[in-house]
Amino acid sequence: MGDVSGKRPTITHVIFDMDGLLLDTEKFYTEVRETILARFNKTFDWSLKAKMMGMKAIEAARVFVEETGISDSLSAEDFLVERESMLQSLFPTSELMPGASRLIEHLHAKGVPICLATEATGGILS
């Protein structure tokens, strides 16, 4: 149950997940999957995307290549290598999510420390 006094709790610090929260990168993952599947005359559907959400990268890659029927042509590991290469070229074009800049500026003005957390590797952080 919430604070019955009506007083809001003080925000002492904020940890952001950059990928998909601060930066609009989710569309890149979909675009890359669609591009890879197009080579095999396959399409990427939203039910598969939903199935892969929340999984570790290698687990999602295994589901991806198996469910799309391309595992004989592309291993999960090779898919990840190719995906990363394609993502690295797209990430520099990512834009802030709506309201992200305003929120960060507000927190900074109020002296609230912020931290960035991500599972992303290398390029997105550059």
Phi, psi of 67 (to 5 degrees): -65, -30
User: CA 110 to CA 70: how far, in whole Å?
Assistant: 51
What are residue 96's phi and psi, to 5 degrees? -65, 145
Any catalytic annotation for residue 19?
yes
Given 17, 24, 45, 72, which residue is catalytic? 17
Determine whether 72 is an active site residue. Answer: no
d(CA 74, CA 67): 12
Which one is catalytic: 19, 24, 72, 78?
Answer: 19
Amino acid code (one letter) for 2: G
Catalytic (active-site) positions: 17, 19
